[in-house]
Structure 1
Amino acid sequence: MNGKMHSETGAFSSDGMRAEILNPFVHKLELDNTYDKIKTAIFTVILLPFRVIVICYLIVTAWFLACIGLYGLSEEDLRRKPMTGWRSKLRFSILSLMRLVVVVAGFHRVKILGTEHAPSDRREAPVVVIAPHSSFFDAIAIVCLGAPSVVAKADTARLPFIGQLINYTQPVYVWRDDPNSRANTIKEIIQRATSKEDWPQILIFPEGTCTNRSCLITFKSGGFYPGVPVQPVTIRYPNARDTVTWTWEGPGALKLLWLTLTQVHSSCEIEFLPVYYPSEEERRDPKLYARNVRDVMAKALGVPVLDYTYDDCRLIAKAKQLGIPSAPSVREVAELRAQLGLERSQIELHLIAQGAARRARWLGAEELARRLGVQPAADDAQRLAQLFTQPSSGLIYFPDYLLCAAFLMTQHAPLTQLLSYAFKLYDSTGTGRVNAATFEEIAGRCLGLCQEDAHNTFGQADLDEKGWLTYDEFIAFAQKKSFFSFLFACESAPKSKSQ
Structure 2
Amino acid sequence: MEKQCKMNGRLKDSLPSIPSDLLLNPFVHHLELTSTLDKIKTALLTVTFLPLRVLCIGLLLSLAWVLACVGLVGLDENDVRCKPLTGWRRSLRAVISKLVRLLMVFGSFHTVKVKGRQATQREAPVLILAPHSSFFDALPVVLLGSPSIVAKAETANIPFFGKLINYTQPVYVWRDDPTSRQKTIKEIVNRATSKLEWPQILIFPEGTCTNRKCLITFKLGAFYPGVPVQPVCIRYPNELDTVTWTWEGPGALKLLWLTLTRWNSICEIEFLPVYKPSEEEKNNPKLFANNVRNIMAKALQIPVSDYNYSDTLLIKKAVELNLPSASDLVKVQKLRHKIGLNCLELEVQQASKLLNKDLCSLEDFAKVLNVSAGNDAVQELFQLYVKNGVRIINIREYLLDSIIINMKSKTEEMARLAFEAVSSDPTRMSRDEAVQALKISLKMSEERADRIFDKIESVSKFNYDSFVKYAQNKEDLAKIFAGPKKDN
What TM-score do the two structures reach when normalised by structure 2? 0.85
**Cα displacement string for residues 101-128 of structure 1 (whole angstroms, at most 9, x for unaligned residues):** 122222110111123xx32x31111100
- 1:194 corresponds to which residue? 193
How do residues 395-410 of structure 1 correspond to structure 2 at under 5 angstroms?
Answer: 395-410=392-407
- 1:148 corresponds to which residue? 147
1:66 to 68, 82, 99: 68
C-alpha distance in structure 2 between counterparts of 1:28 and 1:320, whole Å: 17
- 1:380 corresponds to which residue? 377
* 2:45 and 2:261 in contact (8 A); partners too: yes
* 1:388 and 1:396 in contact (8 A); partners too: yes
Unaligned runs of 5+ in 1: 1-12, 489-499
* 1:323 and 1:448 in contact (8 A); partners too: no
C-alpha distance in structure 2 between counterparts of 1:478 and 1:390, whole Å: 37
Superposed displacement of residue 17, structure 1: 1.8
Q: Does 1:414 align with 2:407?
A: no
Superposed displacement of residue 234, structure 1: 0.8
- 1:434 corresponds to which residue? 429
Aligned residues: 465
C-alpha distance in structure 2 between counterparts of 1:480 and 1:60, whole Å: 57
* 1:424 and 1:430 in contact (8 A); partners too: yes
SS at match of 1:189: helix
SS at match of 1:185: helix
How do residues 2-151 of structure 1 correspond to structure 2 at under 5 angstroms?
Answer: 16-19=18-21, 22-115=24-117, 118-119=118-119, 121-151=120-150
* 1:461 and 1:474 in contact (8 A); partners too: no
**Cα displacement string for residues 423-445 of structure 1 (whole angstroms, at most 9, x for unaligned residues):** 222333342x2133543664687
C-alpha distance in structure 2 between counterparts of 1:399 and 1:162, whole Å: 46
- 1:460 corresponds to which residue? 454
**Structure 1 residues 395, 420: CA separation in 2 closer, same or farther (over 3 Å shift)?**
same
- 2:9 corresponds to which residue? none
**Structure 1 residues 475, 321: CA separation in 2 closer, same or farther (over 3 Å shift)?**
farther
**Cα displacement string for residues 215-267 of structure 1 (whole angstroms, at most 9, x for unaligned residues):** 11111010111111111111111112111111122222222222211212111
C-alpha distance in structure 2 between counterparts of 1:48 and 1:390, whole Å: 41
How do residues 9-408 of structure 1 correspond to structure 2 at under 5 angstroms?
Answer: 16-19=18-21, 22-115=24-117, 118-119=118-119, 121-319=120-318, 321-322=320-321, 327-343=326-342, 346=343, 348-352=344-348, 356-357=352-353, 361=357, 362-389=359-386, 393-408=390-405
Unaligned runs of 5+ in 2: 1-14, 481-488
What TM-score do the two structures reach when normalised by structure 1? 0.83
**Cα displacement string for residues 287-326 of structure 1 (whole angstroms, at most 9, x for unaligned residues):** 1111111111111111111111222012134235536698
Comparing 381-390 and 82-91, the one that deviates more: 381-390
* 2:215 and 2:305 in contact (8 A); partners too: yes
**Cα displacement string for residues 25-53 of structure 1 (whole angstroms, at most 9, x for unaligned residues):** 12222333443333223222221221122
C-alpha distance in structure 2 between counterparts of 1:43 and 1:324, whole Å: 36
C-alpha distance in structure 1 between counterparts of 2:284 and 2:328, whole Å: 31
Superposed displacement of residue 21, structure 1: 5.3
SS at match of 2:132: coil
SS at match of 2:26: coil
AA paired with 1:272?
F
SS at match of 1:244: coil
SS at match of 2:227: coil
**Structure 1 residues 258, 14: CA separation in 2 closer, same or farther (over 3 Å shift)?**
farther
Q: Does 1:425 align with 2:418?
A: no
**Structure 1 residues 130, 166: CA separation in 2 closer, same or farther (over 3 Å shift)?**
same
C-alpha distance in structure 2 between counterparts of 1:479 and 1:52, whole Å: 57
SS at match of 1:142: helix
- Percentage identity across paired residues of the two chains: 52
C-alpha distance in structure 2 between counterparts of 1:282 and 1:46, whole Å: 54
* 2:453 and 2:462 in contact (8 A); partners too: no
C-alpha distance in structure 2 between counterparts of 1:327 and 1:90, whole Å: 44
* 2:351 and 2:368 in contact (8 A); partners too: no
Comparing 27-36 and 227-236, the one that deviates more: 27-36
* 2:27 and 2:246 in contact (8 A); partners too: yes
